[in-house]
Structure 1
Amino acid sequence: MGRNIDFSYKTNQIIALLALFTAAIGWLLTGEVSAGIYIGAGVFLTWALSREIDPKHDYSAFIAAAFSLLNLIYYENIQLLVILWMLLLMRMVNGITGKELTIFDIYSVLGLTVYLSLNAENSVYLLIFLLAMTFITKTRKKASVVLIASGIGLAFFIAESFFMNYLSFNSLDYLDPITLFVIATLGLSFIVYWFLSKDETRDDNGKIINKSKLLASQMLYSAAVLLLFFFGDISVNNLIIYISAILGVTIYFIAVKFSTRTRSD
């Protein structure tokens, strides 16, 4: 499910330089090399998430990456492994790599999901994995393999949630402006996805992506962030990255529609 990054493309060169530059700035601001690396990697992964959400448009991801620079102002912790896991889940659903989903793909992601849930003592990761498996059964093949993986994931989810008390609702202040902004952004994102999925998009091999697969992976993304927000131990820096990806795609989409309508008038 990995995607090759061809540095002959201008956009790939730009994001690599931006990530390195941000890492250097992060190092200077925090005084820690590791913090700079994490912040720089966060910028790159914000760009990568946006490319999964909106694979048709190259530059929406740069708007998202720009928003993620907020992590330079306040840095505490970026959970890079969780972001990588979300990327893999989305690729399993949308088939953006143009490759067939393999047994190794499914069970390696299941293994990573179990690791994250045990490490964080939170079964919400398994719930998100089960949601991804549900989308896959609707949009892709490997039904029997997915069914078995879902059964294993469900068994872990039940054991962790009911016998180990690994699932609890976060205490949130619903009058807090940030909380309201996050929920509103995630809620409105589903409307944006509906419009985005109508555009013809191609995978890494140049074949047209099934629109239902793309929409399913987009919906999975926002649903996953919502679940992590309500039930997970999500860091502020990760939340900035997740919301930045949506804002970048949304702002670019609105700008394109507005410019198109202006030219047609």
Structure 2
Amino acid sequence: MFTFTLGRKTDFSYKTNQLIALLSLLVVAIGWMLTGKVSSGIYIGVGVFLTWALSREIDPKHEYSAFLAAAFSFLNLLYYDNVQLLVIVWMLLLMRIVNGITGKELTVFDIFSVLGLTIYLSLNGGNSVYLVIFILAIAFIIKAREKMRAALIASGIGLAFFIVESFFMSYLSFNTINYLDPINIFAIATLSLSFVLFWFLSKAETEDDKGNRLNRFKLLASQIVYSSAVLLLFLFGDTSLNNLIIYLSAIVGVTIYFIGFNILNREK
């Protein structure tokens, strides 16, 4: 009943896992030197690792696309203010309750653990948009007919918190966005086009952590949840520039690798 299945083991006997660990440590050292603070270096380095982890969820078929994404997140070395690590971890867990990539059966504890973290983030950040994203993820779980009773109860609780927070605590407001700002234009364009990319990415046959074929609907659903989450956090949340770089790096890295991979395969 209290089994948590959303964790994924990082086996350091694999060269790719060794490489991302070394890269993250290198960025920690560089970040420390540039900012003068050990804590800032650690946040930037962990951000690189989490960019890699997000990309592995988005594109589990191609492991090297995650390294390209991680490389783009090095941009955080040029400017560091704040990396909201817990939000990124929450997004990883949110995708995993949908895509089933661990190869283990989703448990009631998984669903309510993510619900608990969602409620915490919404209350701590004073923003009910986290609950909207959680309800979207649960809708896909219900569509896949997994843990129906638990999913319905969790969505009901999430909806109740959303109503209270949004209408009685004023925890939902639209951000004032400068649509002429190049960064904002790039963010919105990238997120909008990502839905098209994910349609093609999800067609590739891939396996979960147990070696079983990953369900295409679940993979596509988790990819949609990711881009929807980033877009909603951008429009309604308090997303730092460093987090936005991480989110977009995951998409851009996967996109460039996907295009390059297909071009090279056609030429063979």
Common fold by TM > 0.5? yes
> Is residue 34 of structure 2 the alignment partner of residue 29 of structure 1?
yes
Distance 2:74 2:155 in 1: 37
Distance of 2:11 and 2:58 partners within structure 1: 20
Q: Which runs of 4+ in 1 moved over 4 A?
A: none
Give yes or no for the alignment of 1:79 onto 2:80: no
CA 259–142 in structure 1, closer or farther in 2 if over 3 Å, else same:
same
Using the alignment, how far apart are the partners of 2:85 and 2:91 within structure 1? 10
| Unmatched tracts of structure 1, length 5 or more | none
Q: 1:56 aligns with which of 49, 52, 61?
A: 61
TM-superposed deviation, 1:243: 0.0
Question: Would the aligned equivalents of 1:123 and 1:166 in 2 still touch at CA under 8 Å?
Answer: yes
Identical columns (%)? 73
For residue 204 of structure 1, give the secondary structure of its aligned residue in structure 2: coil
Letter in 2 for 1:215: L
1:139 CA drift (Å): 2.1
The one of 211, 217, 234 aligned to 1:212: 217
Matching residue's letter, 1:74 = Y
In the superposition, the TM-score normalised over structure 2's length comes to 0.97
* TM-score, length-scaled by structure 1: 0.98
The gaps in structure 2 that reach 5 residues or longer are 1-5
Q: Which residue of 1 aligns with 2:125?
A: 120
CA distance in 2 between partners of 1:129 and 1:139 (Å): 16
Q: How does 1:57-206 map to 2 (within 5 A)?
A: 57-206=62-211
Instruction: Return the alpha-carbon distance in structure 1 between the equivalents of residues 230 and 140 of structure 2.
Output: 16
Deviation by residue 1:150-170 (Cα, 9 ceiling, x = unmatched) = 000000000000000000000
Contact 1:93/1:140, CA 8 A, preserved across alignment: no
Match of 1:11 in 2: 16
Q: C-alpha separation between the residues in 1 aligned to 2:85 and 2:105?
A: 26
SS in 2 for 1:15: helix
Separation (CA, whole Å) in 2 of partners of 1:174 and 1:149: 36
Q: CA deviation at 1:100?
A: 0.7
User: RMSD of the TM alignment (CA)?
Assistant: 0.6
Q: Give the C-alpha shift of residue 260 in structure 1.
A: 1.1
Give the equivalent residue in structure 2 for 1:231: 236
- Look up the match of 2:257: 252
- Measure how far apart 1:120 and its partner are: 0.4
C-alpha separation in 1, matches of 2:124 and 2:76: 24
Within 2, Cα distance between the matches of 1:41 and 1:136? 29
Change (3 A) 1:209 1:40: same
Counterparts of 1:190 and 1:160, CA distance in 2: 29
Post-superposition shift, 1:110? 0.5
Deviation at 1:196, TM superposition (A): 0.6
How far 1:8 sits from its partner (Å)? Answer: 0.6
What's the CA shift string for 1:135-185, capped at 9, x where partnerless? 111125101100000000000000000000000000001121111110000
Q: Which moved more, 1:99-108 or 1:79-88?
A: 99-108
User: What is residue 40 of structure 1 aligned with on the other side?
Assistant: 45
Q: Distance in 2 between matches of 1:235 and 1:166?
A: 18
